[in-house]
Amino acid sequence: MYSTPFSPSEARSARARMGLTTAQVAHSMAVCGAPVHPGLVAAWEQGTHVPSEQQLFSLADVLWCDVTTLMGLEPRTLAEHRLARRISVERLAYRLGMDQGEYRAAESAQEWHGDSRQTRALVDALGLSLRQLIGIMGRAEELGEHLRSAIDGRWKSHVEPVAGIVSVDMTGVEDALRTMHTEFTAFSERYMGHLVARNDDARLKEVAAERAAYLRRLVDRFWELIGDVGEAPPRTW
């Protein structure tokens, strides 16, 4: 069952820095529209209870700290990135034009199947890039495998699966894979040209080194061609 990430020790430290009692924290939260009993604040700090998402947001306001401080971690999952931005599921789903249940399921399963418009809206809301989103979803390695197969074989067969992973228009993916296939093929043509011409080993090693460097930057090259969304500044919803 999903539980809001929360660090009791960080909450205690944040309250101590503000010089507040649990009663004062509870009073301030009530003023912010999130009434709680002082005993519940103490229970959070003792680790016997966990605040709801809205209580977490309100507590961060009262203690003048980032949500991530109270979470006690750097965001790794889709849900954690959403919490770090202080966005509720309801508001984010509305922004994406997606059913709340569908979005909750995406967070729970760590699987994203939104269309290109929804994906762009998601990375904008969470201050991520498409590349970061794919990493969060755990699909970066899968993308790399498709790219390696595409440049060294029938690239057209990889257009649809790659487009499905990055959630962008297939035309853009097709153009990128075609370009990368052409670039990679050029290494083989140059190598064979030097081989037929019986050039020295130094020229052959040079081409081989360039080919290896290209493979190391394969994913980087893909994002250079496909374009990406840079990080957006934090926003308050």
236 lies in some domain: no
Give the per-residue pLDDT at 230: 39
* Residue 70: other Cβ atoms inside 10 A: 25
In this structure, the answer to whether residues 177 and 127 fall within a common structural domain is no
In this structure, the answer to whether residues 156 and 189 fall within a common structural domain is yes
What's the CA dihedral at 128, 6, 57, 69 to 10 degrees?
Answer: -60
In this structure, the answer to whether residues 195 and 151 fall within a common structural domain is yes
Check pLDDT > 80 for residue 114: yes
End-to-end Cα distance, the chain:
26
**Which of 119, 136, 153 is where one domain is finished?**
136
Give the per-residue pLDDT at 179: 95
Domain containing 36 — which CATH number?
Answer: 1.10.260.40
237 lies in some domain: no
In this structure, the answer to whether residues 67 and 85 fall within a common structural domain is no
Could you give the count of Cα atoms lying within 13 Å of 119 in the half-sphere of its Cβ? 22
Mean pLDDT across 115-136: 92
In this structure, the answer to whether residues 149 and 118 fall within a common structural domain is no
In this structure, the answer to whether residues 196 and 219 fall within a common structural domain is yes
CA proximity to 136, closest of 122, 148, 152: 122
**Which of 45, 71, 97 is where one domain is finished?**
71
162 lies in some domain: yes
In this structure, the answer to whether residues 106 and 32 fall within a common structural domain is no
> Residue 150 is part of which domain span?
140-226
233 lies in some domain: no
**Which of 41, 71, 101 is where one domain is finished?**
71
What percentage of the chain has pLDDT greater than the value 90? Answer: 70
The count of structural domains within the chain is 3
Give the per-residue pLDDT at 35: 94
Mean pLDDT of the chain: 89
In this structure, the answer to whether residues 23 and 64 fall within a common structural domain is yes
In this structure, the answer to whether residues 145 and 132 fall within a common structural domain is no
Give the per-residue pLDDT at 192: 65
231 lies in some domain: no
Residue whose entry in the numeric block shows the structure tokens 């009993």: 37
In this structure, the answer to whether residues 16 and 67 fall within a common structural domain is yes
Taking the C-alpha atoms of residue 60 and residue 15, their distance in angstroms, rounded to an integer, is 10
Check pLDDT > 60 for residue 232: no
232 lies in some domain: no
In this structure, the answer to whether residues 106 and 39 fall within a common structural domain is no
Q: Is residue 237 very low, low, confident or very high in pLDDT (cuts 50, 70, 90)?
A: very low
Taking the C-alpha atoms of residue 132 and residue 120, their distance in angstroms, rounded to an integer, is 12
203 lies in some domain: yes
In this structure, the answer to whether residues 206 and 151 fall within a common structural domain is yes
Q: Which amino acid is at 113?
A: H
